[in-house]
Amino acid sequence: MLRKLHGLPGLVAALLLVVLATSGVVLSVVPALERSGAVVPAAGELSVAGLAERVITNYPGTEQIARSLSGEVVVYYSQDGQPGADLVNPLTGEGIAPYQPSAFVRWVKNLHRSFLMDDVGRMLAGVWAALMVLICLSGAFLLARRLGGWKAMLQPIPGSGSPRIHAELARFAVIGLLLSALTGSYMSAVRFGLLPEGASTEPTFPAEVSGGVPAPAGSLKALKNVDVNELRELVFPFPDDPTDVYSLSTTQGSGFVDQATGELLQYQARSTGSQFHHWMVRLHTGEGLWWLGLILGLAALTVPVLSFTGLQIWWQRRSSAISLGENASIEAADTVILVGSEGNTTWGFAKDLQNKLNQAGKKVHCAPMNDLAVHYPKASVLFILTSTYGDGDAPSSASQFLTRLEHFQPDDGLEFVVLGFGDQQFPKFCQYALDVDTALSNKGLQHMHPLTRIDRGSATQFREWGEAISERMGIPLVLTHNPAPAVTSEFELVERVDYGVAVNAPTSILRFKPLKNSRNLWQRLPFQNRKQLPDFEAGDLLGVAPPGDEAARFYSLASSASDGILEICVRKQTNGLCSGYLHSLKPGDRIAGFIQKNPGFRPAGGTTPIILVGAGAGIGPLAGFIRKNTERNPMYLYWGGRNPDSDFLYQPELGRYLDDQRLTRLNTAFSRSAENAYVQDAIVADETALRHQIEIGAQILVCGGREMAAGVRQVFDSILKPLHMDVEELRTEGRYLEDVY
């Protein structure tokens, strides 16, 4: 819901918002420019009487003196029957230049206020300002939710590409944008009478004046009492009319001044409402607050980029989303399907199940597991379809499920079924589905059917499960979903560097280039010319199926799309079908593969120290992270191999990264050399320094084999003990990430 609230108005508003924001940026500079050209006397240096006296000396036909909040003083006069207006120096009363408001600024103001239209445009601008309020608030809530609460709002934002740029910029600009949008909406609402304009307090013309001989303006008491910096406007009496008066308006209020006695007549202080209105206008325009104007301008400058990245995110999400058919509401549903998915394939199965249940007359509500409601008033069956990611962990659309389950209030009759989607190649096959199944049982819910695990999206297993459910529910249910195989692209091996043969651990760094025709339409657009690869980051996965086998194996990428190549580091496994295939490749050979995003394994941005730990081929993505560390943030690598003469993977590159400080320090351990040490030993040897890094917020990323990862967890647990912390705690804070195989 929150996402829709943020995305939909954002989409609709994007174009006009860019116009509003860019014109706002131009206008935001105006107060600062005006201020830089204005002569502003010190407080108490000059009274309005003094100003009037000096101006009259230079402009005997003065009719009015106006002072802008930025400090510009303009005199309106008449000379030989001709009206004129000059900017004047208040200290001398002398003219500086004829007063000619810029036609360009006026045009930009019109564009900003009304898109160069009349009332319709003004109304549109007001509605857009209100939309902007909605976008800012929903965006702030989304970001807080993503970072784990309001207190975490200043923490590094994980991720990369458009979502990261969008979040970083929005975090920087949101307060400024919200202020502009709120004050803009207010001004619009006042203009169209939706809100009262804080009772304007116009004094009534005095019924009685002295009518005496006019005294010089410089001697009038009421004008002497007002500092020039408080002046808004002084209108002079009509010449030769002793019954007329000066009309004085200041930042505090307004009234009239008797031209003979200098008495202040009918003075009206500004009401609170009017002062509020005045401040809202100032906060929007930056008038008299030139520094605020510049801050608001800077914030508005981010809007075009936010709109562009927002559209990109929306498009990416839309392209990968599965559209659901008829979806009953939470209140009306008799059957609920909740889906846990990372790569979206589970949604295809869920959609088939939902359609078939609908056809059988059920009212089905289908949603991500993270959207678990507190209560489903009419539901009698709860289906959970979930994949497993990482090392037996939740996929992203289920990451909050177990926490939300604590508040879940099931009705007595509610039964559940869990269907796990996974890959038997992983030791923790469908582990997350198992965890959810246990948690639901612990919550007191009854099984309608025991947990079933589907291996690698098997259509047969899914159909068979459907048959069992059909029997159990007493309805026809023929499930036919057969997931389409991943869309692959062709890549050509351009380079391989071989290591480790002498120590019985043949490991190769393989570099592929994409073949031109593998680019999709979007990538072939002219401005995308340099981009021949699908978008990916180091740490994402390359899926490759060996010849004669449909099941893809995944290899962590050591490069990102901007490197122009696809780099993986592969250890040849004994009897390994896919690793054997990859090791048999010669430069010029081609493979078919696809990118699988792995956003859960990325270093935090900013200056957070990063501790990288790996062994053997696990160095691949870690080397990719270091290569990308062009900002030279602190990065420490702990890596274990067998022998420095044989399998010191990436040795030349790591030397270069140390020299140019992309890598802060390198600690190695070799098990088949004189030192006879593993990466855990290198970590223990550096215990004190590591503890300190963790204390100051370091993030740890571990990549490699399962056993190594377990050993590394153990040593970090003992390093963390004196801090009364453990790996689990770091993990929940997103500071301990693993990519294990």
Ligand X SMILES: Cc1cc2nc3c(=O)[nH]c(=O)nc-3n(C[C@H](O)[C@H](O)[C@H](O)COP(=O)(O)O)c2cc1C
Q: Which residues bind ligand X (CB under 6 A)?
A: 341-346, 387-392, 395, 421-423, 426, 428-431, 457, 541, 554, 596, 598
3-state secondary structure (DSSP) of residue 58: helix
With beta carbons less than 8 A apart as the criterion, state whether 537 and 160 touch. Answer: yes
Per-residue tokens: 348: 């295809």
Tell me the C-alpha distance between 650 and 497, whole Å: 9
With beta carbons less than 8 A apart as the criterion, state whether 614 and 703 touch. Answer: yes
Tell me the C-alpha distance between 560 and 529, whole Å: 16
- Output 250 or 598, the one with its CB closest to ligand X: 598
Query: C-beta of 342: minimal distance to ligand X in Å?
Result: 4
Query: C-beta of 553: minimal distance to ligand X in Å?
Result: 10
With beta carbons less than 8 A apart as the criterion, state whether 395 and 427 touch. Answer: no
With beta carbons less than 8 A apart as the criterion, state whether 416 and 450 touch. Answer: no
Query: C-beta of 643: minimal distance to ligand X in Å?
Result: 30
Query: C-beta of 422: minimal distance to ligand X in Å?
Result: 2
Tell me the C-alpha distance between 44 and 229, whole Å: 9
- Output 554 or 678, the one with its CB closest to ligand X: 554
- Output 218 or 343, the one with its CB closest to ligand X: 343
Tell me the C-alpha distance between 173 and 506, whole Å: 51
With beta carbons less than 8 A apart as the criterion, state whether 472 and 448 touch. Answer: yes
Tell me the C-alpha distance between 389 and 738, whole Å: 11
**b/e string for 540-572 if b means 16 or more Cβ within 10 A?**
bbbbbbbeeeeebbbbbbbbbbebebbbbbbbb
Furthest-apart CA atoms within the chain: distance in Å:
114
- Output 34 or 567, the one with its CB closest to ligand X: 567
Query: C-beta of 713: minimal distance to ligand X in Å?
Result: 16
- Output 122 or 453, the one with its CB closest to ligand X: 453
Tell me the C-alpha distance between 617 and 509, whole Å: 9
Query: C-beta of 345: minimal distance to ligand X in Å?
Result: 4
- The residues with which 265 forms a beta bridge, in sequence order, are 256
- Output 314 or 432, the one with its CB closest to ligand X: 432
Query: C-beta of 317: minimal distance to ligand X in Å?
Result: 15
Q: Tokens 């270069």 belong to which residue? A: 656
Query: C-beta of 354: minimal distance to ligand X in Å?
Result: 15
Query: C-beta of 424: minimal distance to ligand X in Å?
Result: 7
Query: C-beta of 458: minimal distance to ligand X in Å?
Result: 10
- Output 493 or 541, the one with its CB closest to ligand X: 541
3-state secondary structure (DSSP) of residue 691: helix
Q: Tokens 């923490």 belong to which residue? A: 155
- Output 78 or 596, the one with its CB closest to ligand X: 596
Tell me the C-alpha distance between 540 and 287, whole Å: 50
3-state secondary structure labels for all residues of 155-171: CCCCCCHHHHHHHHHHH
- Output 197 or 455, the one with its CB closest to ligand X: 455
Query: C-beta of 393: minimal distance to ligand X in Å?
Result: 7
- Output 62 or 598, the one with its CB closest to ligand X: 598
Q: Tokens 């009017």 belong to which residue? A: 274
Mutual angle of helices 290-301 and 161-191, in 10-degree steps: 130
Query: C-beta of 440: minimal distance to ligand X in Å?
Result: 19
- Alpha helices, DSSP H only, in 573-660? 577-583, 619-627, 651-659
Tell me the C-alpha distance between 625 and 513, whole Å: 20
Question: Residue 505 is which amino acid?
Answer: A
Mutual angle of helices 2-37 and 103-114, in 10-degree steps: 160
- Output 76 or 601, the one with its CB closest to ligand X: 601
Query: C-beta of 741: minimal distance to ligand X in Å?
Result: 9
Structural element, H or E, at residue 57: helix 48-58
- The residues with which 613 forms a beta bridge, in sequence order, are 638, 702
- Output 17 or 709, the one with its CB closest to ligand X: 709
Tell me the C-alpha distance between 720 and 717, whole Å: 5
- CB nearest ligand X: which residue? 422
Structural element, H or E, at residue 310: helix 303-320
What length is written for the chain? Answer: 741
- Output 176 or 624, the one with its CB closest to ligand X: 624
Query: C-beta of 397: minimal distance to ligand X in Å?
Result: 8
Query: C-beta of 168: minimal distance to ligand X in Å?
Result: 26
Tell me the C-alpha distance between 392 and 436, whole Å: 12
Query: C-beta of 455: minimal distance to ligand X in Å?
Result: 8
CA distances from 561 to 168, 537, 539 (A): 21, 6, 12
- Output 23 or 388, the one with its CB closest to ligand X: 388
Query: C-beta of 513: minimal distance to ligand X in Å?
Result: 24
Tell me the C-alpha distance between 111 and 124, whole Å: 12
- Output 19 or 459, the one with its CB closest to ligand X: 459
Query: C-beta of 426: minimal distance to ligand X in Å?
Result: 4
- Output 523 or 596, the one with its CB closest to ligand X: 596
Task: Count the neighbouring beta carbons within 10 Å of the beta carbon of residue 484.
Answer: 8
**What sign has the CA pseudo-torsion 553, 428, 683, 679?**
negative
- Output 421 or 648, the one with its CB closest to ligand X: 421
With beta carbons less than 8 A apart as the criterion, state whether 294 and 28 touch. Answer: yes
- Output 136 or 541, the one with its CB closest to ligand X: 541
Structural element, H or E, at residue 130: helix 119-147
**What sign has the CA pseudo-torsion 157, 162, 163, 168?**
positive
Tell me the C-alpha distance between 426 and 389, whole Å: 10
